[in-house]
A and B are shown apart, each in its own frame.
Chain A
């Protein structure tokens, strides 16, 4: 009897905590949405309207239609972001897959040292790399190009991608490949025809993770690009803020549009994403 009442108390406390936390997590995003449906004038009312009296899609129409300057600019940023994130993801995964497989399967000398040097990269602040990379990009004539970002993102995504994928490969039984080898496959064929399809979930998880990271990346984009036509969304958002400082509904609408792809992608593939994050650190 006493045990039961104790459990109930913990339950109630747990629920109370969860509801508070949920409010803390979600309320700012709801406020972003509410604000984005207001007119500029309504947003600057005090006290604020918690429920917009004249909700409208004016901001969204403006941002998403190519018929005005703001919209053209915003769509340009969005295309840039899509291109940079997709390219970084595709190349990144293509490079990470063989490396992760090698780390998971082969026992070559230096394997451990290499692997931890791969992991060690997670420790370094982006800003440490910013200056030498900036000089390097200038020297190679890549400042203000998408390539500078694609190369940077793909490299910085690599250690984690390799780490995640290695976790997936560790879980695929070696016996499958051995069977394939007995049936006459070469080692590469076994990898390509047996292991690759089986690790598809891992590759998807890794790809989403890289895409989201690249999509949200700010500091390199801020430093490497300054041509207005080439900016990605995070820097573009900042540019918007400096230009239209009082247009909070517009800024909130832009933030919302920018969040939609990653949130949707994440919600659909939540299982993989969570696995991607926790794989390796917890157990492989």
Chain B
């Protein structure tokens, strides 16, 4: 791409160039229209509502200007700190383990062997099935009275009595993270697998000839080529986890005693459980701020790629 777009040539004004390209805009008009309606307006409205106290009837004409009180209420509430820590634990560990398993699987699957396609397909299934179904499957596995996991661990002599995961304040979040990792490591796997295919074979062979061991080849040849993909995958997973609602909501609803409550479940609870849209909106705006920061890095990682491609 040429530099023409960044500053724009001074001689021909922006409007002139837009007019020249007016037919191009026809192609994106439908997409733009729907997105303005369902994306831009809601963002504006959320920010707007976050400064109001909303009535439980949701008759928005009765809302009262509240200044920044909603934000103060959230940031000073006792639960905020706990929920934030839960959110960070949930997001960071889910991302970390999904990347770890995904990277391992991708490295093994990056060789030609019989049945590779089938293996890859099987490993991907958790990613395509519904999170609701996944949550119920794992709830059944974790079941404190009839769960298969408890039964196996008991028979192996690793626990005494019943295994209580989802009602245990300390174990509930790790248990949910396991489910989440189960669900999303395949995504990391195929992203990395696709990235591995861009590593030139000649380079790997050259390194081999020079006597580099498997680990050295990975460290010095594969990893530098993989960096871009790894960064983007981590960012995508991080955002997905920060926004993940279904697994905690279905499996525990944030319980017991808020031990698995994260920002998203908290916002949903405030909005649709307690019908306090104002506070929930303010909460969303805070989350939104975090997203914008991550989004900045995401776009940067992607555009870096784009610029390199187009020279």
Residues of A within 8 A of B (CB): 3, 6-7, 10, 14-15, 17-18, 21-22, 24-26, 28-29, 31-32, 35, 43-48, 50, 94-96, 98-99, 101-103, 106-112, 114, 116, 118-133, 135-136, 138, 151-152, 154-156, 158-159, 162, 187, 212, 215-216, 218-219, 223, 233-235, 237-238, 241, 248, 251-252, 255, 258-259, 262-263, 266-267, 270, 273-274, 277-278, 281-284
* Cross-chain contact B198 with A282 (CB below 8 angstroms): yes
Give Cα distance in the complex from A94 to B1, angstroms: 28
Given A106-B24, A155-B39, A237-B132, also A218-B246 (CB < 8 A): yes
B35 neighbours in A (Cβ, 8 Å): 118, 121, 155, 158-159
Given A46-B145, A282-B194, also A127-B243 (CB < 8 A): yes
B42 neighbours in A (Cβ, 8 Å): 128-129, 132-133, 136
B186 neighbours in A (Cβ, 8 Å): 25
A278 neighbours in B (Cβ, 8 Å): 190-191, 193-194
Give Cα distance in the complex from A46 to B5, angstroms: 69
Q: Does B89 contact A (CB under 8 A)?
A: no
Please tell me the number of chain B residues within 8 Å of chain A, measured between CB atoms: 111
* Cross-chain contact A21 with B281 (CB below 8 angstroms): no
Contact of B27 among A98, A151, A212, A270 (CB under 8 A): A98
Distance (Å) between the CB of A105 and the closest chain B CB? 9
Distance (Å) between the CB of B297 and the closest chain A CB? 10
Given A47-B155, A123-B292, A127-B284, also A263-B5 (CB < 8 A): no
B58 neighbours in A (Cβ, 8 Å): 135, 138
B203 neighbours in A (Cβ, 8 Å): none
Give Cα distance in the complex from A223 to B275, angstroms: 12
Give Cα distance in the complex from A129 to B303, angstroms: 26
Given A98-B27, A131-B46, also A219-B132 (CB < 8 A): no
Q: For B308, give the chain A residue with the smallest CB separation.
A: A283
Give Cα distance in the complex from A241 to B1, angstroms: 55
Binary contact track B121-144/A, C-beta < 8 Å → 1, others 0? 111111011111110111011010
B134 neighbours in A (Cβ, 8 Å): 28
Distance (Å) between the CB of A115 and the closest chain B CB? 9
Give Cα distance in the complex from A120 to B191, angstroms: 19
Known: A28-B126, A116-B299, A262-B130. 12 other contacts (CB 8 A): A14-B108, A108-B25, A158-B35, A159-B35, A216-B132, A234-B130, A234-B131, A252-B137, A255-B133, A258-B133, A281-B194, A282-B229
* Cross-chain contact B137 with A18 (CB below 8 angstroms): no
Q: Does B172 contact A (CB under 8 A)?
A: no
Count: A-B pairs, CB below 8 Å: 299
A162 neighbours in B (Cβ, 8 Å): 31
Give Cα distance in the complex from A29 to B284, angstroms: 35
Given A118-B35, A284-B309, also A248-B146 (CB < 8 A): yes
Mind listing 10 A-B residue pairs with CB under 8 Å? A32-B133, A107-B5, A125-B242, A127-B271, A155-B38, A159-B35, A234-B130, A235-B132, A277-B191, A278-B194
* Cross-chain contact B137 with A31 (CB below 8 angstroms): yes
Contact of B128 among A50, A114, A130, A263 (CB under 8 A): A263
Given A21-B105, A241-B136, also A95-B30 (CB < 8 A): yes
Given A135-B58, A255-B136, A283-B305, also A277-B187 (CB < 8 A): yes
Q: Does B92 contact A (CB under 8 A)?
A: no
